[in-house]
Structure 1
């Protein structure tokens, strides 16, 4: 297994996030021991492109999908699908926290409009286009937990982040063969850009 940094990981960079309300029957499978948070027959699904750079312990690109779940009474995020382009990130994510990382190839163009694609082999996973609109003042802190299966048991990992937040308009497309094909069926309910964020994960 490729060597990886010990936890906690200190990361920094840019995130482009979209949220959907999906029917219960269309939610991806979550870790056993958790249950999706359901309201009026729908659950919350998020998908994000992340560029880890600056002072990050590792530099890499990431594409993920997660579901808002409940572990006991506490809401958590459960990552159901995730790809990276760094083998140390893949090994560490799996070994430390049970995050099911896979390898992919990324193309991320960042200007006034952010365009991102990811593929495995010769097959596309997803493509997105984000254009930012109104930026919110200040730095926005967020603390949450991620619930995954690790070595046959449910484990939770703490994440704390802070960054500049902007509303965005986003479009997502994914081919029918992609595990993420559901993301292209309807437009996101909300999209955000988290710029120059810092993140402490695990530990």
Structure 2
């Protein structure tokens, strides 16, 4: 078993996020027992490139897609697709929270704006370019809960984050017929750059056996 940190994970870095309103028929499957939040036949989908660095418990790159869902009447976020380049992150995400992490290769260039790409042995998953714009004043807090399927039941985990926020212009492309194919079919409704974020992901689990993991 690949070693990984116990929850909660304390993470920090940079995130480049886009949001879409997608026809309900194009939404990916979500966790059993939840349902997508839809308005006028459309659901909210987010996709993000994340670079975990600085004081993160693990250092790695990530590409994810998530859907806004309801668990009963409670709003939640469900991660439907996600790739990382860290075996420890993949193992921890799957075993702690039921997050379906897969491995991928990443190429993220932050020298002039942001250009990102991820691929597997089946081909390119997605590419994107971000042009960060105006920075909003202050550091913005955000608290929400992620709900996944773990061992046949719903697992809900808390997330608390804080970051500087900049508006951004983004262009996405994705391999048609691939798992993220629809992301390239329409422009994002909104894109943001979350600079120097900090995240506390998950809940303390008293009594759980310690697992050690490298910090790089």
- TM bucket (normalised to shorter chain) is over 0.9
Give the count of matched residue pairs: 203
Unaligned runs of 5+ in 1: none
Return 110-119 or 52-61, whichever deviates more: 110-119
Q: List per-residue Cα deviations over 1:24-81 (Å, max 9, x = no partner).
A: 1111110110010011110000000000000000000000000000011111110000
Number of the residue aligned with 1:46: 46
Poorly superposed stretches of 4+, deviation over 2 Å? none
- Superposed, 1:67-106 pairs within 5 Å as 67-106=67-106
Number of the residue aligned with 1:12: 12
Distance in 2 between the 1:157 and 1:122 partners? 31
Specify which structure has the higher proportion of strand: 1
Asked if the contact 1:112/1:132 (under 8 Å) is kept, the reply is no
TM-score norm. by structure 1 comes to 0.99
Tell me the SS of whatever aligns to 1:4: coil
Number of the residue aligned with 2:26: 26
Q: List per-residue Cα deviations over 1:133-167 (Å, max 9, x = no partner).
A: 11100000000000100010011000000010011
TM-score norm. by structure 2 comes to 0.93
- Superposed, 1:160-179 pairs within 5 Å as 160-179=160-179
Q: List per-residue Cα deviations over 1:104-132 (Å, max 9, x = no partner).
A: 00000003310000000251000000001
- Superposed, 1:106-121 pairs within 5 Å as 106-121=106-121
Asked if the contact 1:5/1:92 (under 8 Å) is kept, the reply is yes
Number of the residue aligned with 1:196: 196
